[in-house]
Structure 1
Amino acid sequence: MSLTFADHETLGRALYDAMRTETAIKPLRETHPSITIEDAYQISRIMLSHRTVNDGEIVVGKKIGVTSAAVQEMLGVFQPDFGFLTDAMAYENNAEIPIAGNMISPRAEGEIAFRLKSTLTGTDNTEADVLAATKSIMPCFEIVDSRIENWQIAIQDTIADNASCGVYVLGDSEIDPNDVDLPSIKIDVSKNGQPLSSGLGSAVQGNPLTAVAWLANTLGAYGIALEAGEVILSGSVVPLEPVQAGDIMSLTMSGNEFETCSASCRFI
């Protein structure tokens, strides 16, 4: 039996409070064993509403999580989820990102971000529709964070926790996605000046366009659009990397059809 609306309200508030106090809570599937994926999506919307109503944050995009085999195996979660990006999560390229007062247990991941020029609605969007709606792609660091103790998450936990959203950093370069082979785009990640990991766009459900189409259709079933002007994070192509104050993360994004571009950030 799924949870009640009162349960959704309580757990949404608990996750919001955990984020604001930087105090992780026990996995929801332990405290509420009957929690379903549908419950988790309802809880995530309530958590988000506390950010928008209480804190005045504005939704500026969406993200797909747990899309690549590397991340799925690391977390033990084997299906994608989605979350909402707000203006408070966005940092400029080369930003200094505070951990204290901001996150609990951050992990950095490199991915391809999309900026939309037109809106995607409904549940039958294709990769071609996504490409037609995309203004540009960009290199991106997403720094995920979990309000669940020790990242002990099942799919219900990460969905309810707004897909473990933390903050994100976009590179300065914006590339026209037309005539670019997105599956063959390569991302190389370095930590503190040392090579760390590499991955291809194909790590994300075979093609980042496929992942964004999935997101558009999944949200479309809830009556939620991917809006023109929004940023969409398509999922990590490399394993997640824990970070702490003093770490510097850098990545390059390269392809045969465009000049190499980059993104970086430093944690303080």
Structure 2
Amino acid sequence: MSFSKEKRAQYGDELYEALKAGKTIDPLTDRESDITIEDSYHISLHMVERRVAAGDKIVGKKIGVTSKAVQDMLNVHQPDFGFITHEMWFENAETISISANKLIQPRAEGEIAFKLKKDLVGPGVTEKDVLDATECVMPCFEIVDSRIHNWQIKIQDTVADNASCGVFVLGENEVDPREIDLPNAQMKVYKNGQLISEGLGSAVQGNPLTAVAWLANTLGEFGIPFKAGEIILSGSLVPLEPVGPGDVMTLEVEGLGTAAVTFGS
């Protein structure tokens, strides 16, 4: 049986307060054995609505836990989805204060971001539809974070927690997606100048276009469209990397350019 509207709001409020306080809570799946992904989506939506009511603005959507490397690391074996907001968005090469932004247990991942030029409404969205609707693609760092203690998450926990959103950084290059072989685009990620991981676009459900189509169709089932101008984060090509004060993360994607972020205390 699905949660009541009141119970969904209760957990959404709890996660929002944890976000604002920079603290963790016990996994929802430890407390509610019958919680469903649909319940979790409604909890997440309530949490995001609290952010918007406080003055934030939704600027796009994200898909996470798409690659096998990330699924194995988190022991979550299907993608999650959430909303990205204006307050999560930082400029390329900017220094992000961990404490000021209430980051708790941040991990960096390298992605390809899509900027849309027209709406996409699932279900029935194809890879070609995504390509036709995309203005450009950009290299991206997403800094995921979890309000769930010690990343002890199941799929319902991470969906409820807005797909473990933290902050994100877009590279400055904007490339027509038709000019890049997305499945074979190679990413290299560096931490403090040392190469730590490599991955291909195919790590994301075989093709980032496939991942974005999946997300459009999944959110379409909830009546949520992709809108022109939105940014869509398509999932990590590489394993997650824990970051802390003083760390400098850079990435380069063949044919797409670079992105960088520095972490301050």
TM-score tier (shorter) = over 0.9
Q: Give the residue type in structure 1 aligned to 2:260.
A: S
Q: Give the residue type in structure 2 aligned to 1:136.
A: C
Partner residue of 2:64? 65
| Counterpart mapping for 1:112-191 below 5 A | 112-191=112-191
Judge conservation of contact 1:22–1:101 (CA < 8 Å) in 2.
Answer: no
Partner residue of 1:100? 99
Q: Does structure 1 residue 3 correspond to structure 2 residue 31?
A: no
Q: Does structure 1 residue 208 correspond to structure 2 residue 216?
A: no
Identity %: 59
Q: Give the residue type in structure 2 aligned to 1:143.
A: I
Partner residue of 1:86? 85
Residue 221 of structure 1 deviates from its aligned partner by 1.1
Whole-Å Cα distance in 1 between the matches of residues 245 and 6 of structure 2?
38
Whole-Å Cα distance in 2 between the matches of residues 210 and 139 of structure 1?
17
Whole-Å Cα distance in 1 between the matches of residues 180 and 166 of structure 2?
29
Judge conservation of contact 1:185–1:200 (CA < 8 Å) in 2.
Answer: yes
Q: Kindly report structure 1 stretches of 4+ aligned residues shifted beyond 3 Å.
A: none
1:209-251 residue CA offsets vs partner (Å, 9 max, x unmatched): 0000001111111111111100000000000000001000000
SS at match of 2:180: coil
Whole-Å Cα distance in 1 between the matches of residues 181 and 141 of structure 2?
20
Whole-Å Cα distance in 2 between the matches of residues 186 and 142 of structure 1?
17
Partner residue of 2:220? 220
Whole-Å Cα distance in 2 between the matches of residues 167 and 74 of structure 1?
20
Whole-Å Cα distance in 1 between the matches of residues 48 and 183 of structure 2?
32
Partner residue of 1:264? 260
TM-score, length of structure 1 as denominator length: 0.97
Whole-Å Cα distance in 1 between the matches of residues 48 and 95 of structure 2?
25
Residue 101 of structure 1 deviates from its aligned partner by 3.1
1:144-200 residue CA offsets vs partner (Å, 9 max, x unmatched): 000000000000000000000000000000001114211001110000010010000
Whole-Å Cα distance in 2 between the matches of residues 181 and 187 of structure 1?
12
1:118-143 residue CA offsets vs partner (Å, 9 max, x unmatched): 11013000000000000100000000
Equivalenced residues, count: 263
Whole-Å Cα distance in 2 between the matches of residues 118 and 171 of structure 1?
21
Q: Give the residue type in structure 2 aligned to 1:202.
A: S
Residue 33 of structure 1 deviates from its aligned partner by 1.6
Judge conservation of contact 1:27–1:157 (CA < 8 Å) in 2.
Answer: yes
Whole-Å Cα distance in 2 between the matches of residues 122 and 134 of structure 1?
15
Indicate the RMSD between aligned Cα atoms, in angstroms.
0.8
Whole-Å Cα distance in 2 between the matches of residues 104 and 50 of structure 1?
19
Residue 253 of structure 1 deviates from its aligned partner by 0.7
Q: Give the residue type in structure 2 aligned to 1:193.
A: G
Judge conservation of contact 1:60–1:230 (CA < 8 Å) in 2.
Answer: yes
TM-score, length of structure 2 as denominator length: 0.98
Q: List alignment gaps of at least 5 residues for structure 1.
A: none
